[in-house]
Amino acid sequence: MAEPARKLDVIDARPAFTQADADALNARFEGVETLEMLRTLFAEDLLGETAIVSSFGTESAVLLSLLARVNPDVPVVFVDTLKMFPETDAYRIELLDHLGMHNRRVITPDPEVLAKKDETGLRWSYDPDGCCAIRKVEPLARAKDGLDSWFSGRKAFQSQTRANLPRFEVEDGRLKVNPLGDWVKADLDAYFEEHHLPRHSLEAQGYLSIGCAPCTSVVKPGEDPRAGRWRGWDKVECGIHGEVITHPDEDPANEPAF
């Protein structure tokens, strides 16, 4: 009698999520209130290994607060580019302490890459795309390694590049969740007031969208809230959300961006 065929070990290399999964989730949660959606996602374990990526900018407290109410143990990832305002790091600690979120991960650029690509620390001044690539995009890629999904605080109203932002999308096989995609500024302000959330100290000085210190300036009355980012450059995004940026492959040494 022939022996049964040996069962082969197979490595499942399929992505955790597909666009069909994102489409199904968008359909399921259409019109569902944000907090209820978040509670369901965690109650039904629909996200796999997940984390929230936060810039700790002027609006970051809202999403962090919502997640703290649902699952305060969710990992909070902060990409420290080593060019941040000191006020941002102080706000990060203050806000997470206030919300009782203690699972904190700080990711920094690879020092060998910095030594090779930005020895003077001034790459932001002549190649902001390349600077973002080595100080934001690559560190975040490392931070997302092992995650099935992650939360983003993007909102559709913030800029034209974020219009029609879905709640769920797929990027590199991971589910990206944008719980605040359809929130407007009035919604955010009302939430801040209702839940007594601390504000970023630079907001009162006119910094409405806060990134790295060298590339962030005060927003003038009537300007788009993100007008203070990369002022004077044909650039509106850092690239961590997969957006097309101006010239990410240009490098003074004709080498890859990272």
From 132, 212, 215, 238, active-site residue: 238
- Residue 1 is given by DSSP the state -
Residue with the bigger pLDDT between 164 and 95: it is: 95
Residue 94: CA atoms inside 13 Å, Cβ hemisphere, count?
15
CA distance 136 to 81: 6
Q: Which residues contact 99 (CB under 8 A, 6 or more apart)?
A: 61, 64, 65, 68, 72
Confidence at residue 223, expressed as pLDDT on a 0 to 100 scale: 84
Residue with tokens 């006020």, as numbered in its chain: 87
pLDDT, one tens digit per residue, over 70-106 is 999 999 999 999 999 999 999 999 999 999 999 999 9
At 252 the pLDDT is 35
pLDDT digits (tens, 9 = 90+) for 207-231: 988 999 999 999 988 888 788 888 8
Provide the residue type at 28 as one letter.
R
Query: Is 70 exceeded by the pLDDT of residue 242?
Result: no
Residue 238 is a catalytic residue: yes
What DSSP string runs through 168-226?
A: EEEETTEEEE-TTTT--HHHHHHHHHHTTPPPPTTGGGT--S--BGGGB-PPPTTS-TT
The per-residue pLDDT for range 180-199, each reduced to its tens digit, is 988 988 999 999 999 999 99
State yes or no: pLDDT of 253 exceeds 70. no
